[in-house]
């Protein structure tokens, strides 16, 4: 049985990843900040009792990440999905109105945390069958695609994590680990809003299809949910 670990699994894309992988017979390790409030996750845990596990994790707290790694020290992790992310208030990320506190918070969650989690769980990933690290990023982190400007905080935190994962792809290649970046599309979630173009189900189905096909030749790539390459 393959195992997937998902951060930010209590809602939106993360919850849909958990739902789909559980339905397909995977062991799911679902991480979120407040499990006691994650009712949908709780229902999945009740449904898949022997292979669905919820762990409390605030990805900003590096000591807690290390503690989770210790708890899971004997568990091979086939796919790690770095999904937890934040999008600060839009008005706090515009020219002349930047909240530098929000900016630092965005980097803690969107950029620092994905690297820390891979550092902490690299052994478990390396000892699995599939050995995949998938980090959910955004086309808004693409420098080539930026035609509208603004969104300094979110754009820069995602551009930075793109570089983090590109380096991970190089550094982890000797251990057989594949590291990819996934753009989920504009998704109908709390972050994406009701006016977004696609559902979480559509987005996750597409990204899971990609993860089911990636090989070592794909490590370091920036791929959209529909399989298209995203320009850096």
- In this structure, is residue 27 part of a structural domain? no
- In this structure, is residue 38 part of a structural domain? no
- Domains: count for the chain: 1
Provide, rounded to the nearest whole percent, the portion of the chain with pLDDT above 70: 97
Q: Give the pLDDT confidence of 71-110 residue by residue, as tens digits.
A: 999 999 999 999 999 998 878 889 999 999 999 999 999 9
Residue 174's region, left for phi above 0, alpha for psi from -120 to 50, else beta, is alpha
Q: How far apart are CA 36 and CA 214, in angstroms?
A: 35
Angle 184-186-187 (CA atoms, 0-180°, nearest 5)? 80
- In this structure, is residue 82 part of a structural domain? yes
Q: How far apart are CA 26 and CA 174, in angstroms?
A: 27
- In this structure, is residue 9 part of a structural domain? no
- In this structure, is residue 132 part of a structural domain? yes
- In this structure, is residue 29 part of a structural domain? no
The helix or strand, by DSSP H or E, that contains position 6, with its residue range, turns out to be strand 3-6
Q: How far apart are CA 4 and CA 18, in angstroms?
A: 8
Q: How far apart are CA 75 and CA 68, in angstroms?
A: 11
pLDDT at 188 over 80: no
Residue 97: count of CB within 10 angstroms of its CB: 11
At 132 the pLDDT is 99
- In this structure, is residue 187 part of a structural domain? yes
Instruction: Report the mean per-residue pLDDT for the chain.
Output: 95
**Going by C-beta distance under 8 Å and a sequence separation of 6 or more, which residues neighbour residue 11?**
38, 40, 189, 190
Instruction: Provide the domain limits for residue 161.
Output: 53-224
Average pLDDT of span 135-149: 96
- In this structure, is residue 117 part of a structural domain? yes
CATH of the domain at 88: 3.40.50.720
């Amino acid at each position: 049985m393959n195992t997937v670990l998902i951060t930010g699994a209590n809602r939106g894309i993360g919850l849909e990843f958990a739902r789909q992988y559980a339905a397909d017979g995977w062991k799911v390790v679902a991480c979120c900040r407040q499990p006691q409030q994650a009712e949908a996750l709780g229902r999945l845990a009740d449904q898949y009792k022997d292979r669905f596990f919820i762990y409390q994790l605030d990805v900003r707290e590096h000591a807690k990440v290390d503690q989770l790694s210790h708890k899971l020290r004997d568990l091979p992790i086939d796919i790690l999905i770095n999904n937890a992310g934040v999008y600060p208030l839009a008005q706090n990320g515009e020219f002349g109105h930047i909240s530098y506190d929000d900016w630092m918070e965005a980097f803690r969650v969107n950029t620092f945390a994905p690297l820390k989690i891979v550092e902490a769980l690299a052994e478990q990933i390396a000892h699995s069958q599939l050995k995949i690290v998938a980090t959910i990023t955004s086309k808004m982190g693409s420098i080539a695609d930026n035609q509208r400007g603004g969104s300094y905080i979110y754009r820069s935190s995602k551009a930075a994590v793109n570089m983090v994962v590109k380096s991970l792809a190089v550094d982890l290649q000797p251990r057989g680990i594949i590291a990819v970046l996934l753009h989920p599309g504009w998704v109908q979630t709390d972050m994406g809003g009701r006016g977004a173009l696609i559902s979480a189900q559509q987005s996750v189905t597409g990204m899971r299809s990609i993860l089911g096909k990636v090989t070592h030749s794909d490590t370091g790539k920036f791929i959209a949910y529909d399989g298209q390459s995203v320009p850096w």
